[in-house]
Amino acid sequence: MMTVPLDKFVRINYNVNNVICATMYEPEVNDYVIWDRKNCDIIDEGWVYFKGEKLEDKKGFKPHVRYLTIETSIREKPVCTTSDKFRQKHNTLKHKYIHTLLLCNDSNWGELKYVKSRQNAYSTEYFQREI
HEC per residue, the chain:
CEEEECCCCCEEEECCCCCEEEECCCCCCCEEEEEECCCCCCEEEEEEEEECCCCCCCCCCCCCCCEEEEEEEEEECCCCCCCHHHHHHHHCCCCCEEEEEEEEEHHHHHHEEEEEECCCCCCHHHHHCCC
Parallel, antiparallel, or unpaired: how do β-strands 20-23 and 11-14 relate? antiparallel
Residue 16 lies in a domain: no
Percent above pLDDT 90 for the chain: 40
- Domain of residue 51, residue span: 25-128
For the entire predicted model, the pTM comes to 0.67
What average pLDDT does this structure show over 126-130? Answer: 52
The total of structural domains in the chain comes to 1
Instruction: Write out pLDDT tens, residues 18-59.
Output: 444 446 789 999 999 999 988 888 899 999 999 999 889 999
Residue 20 lies in a domain: no
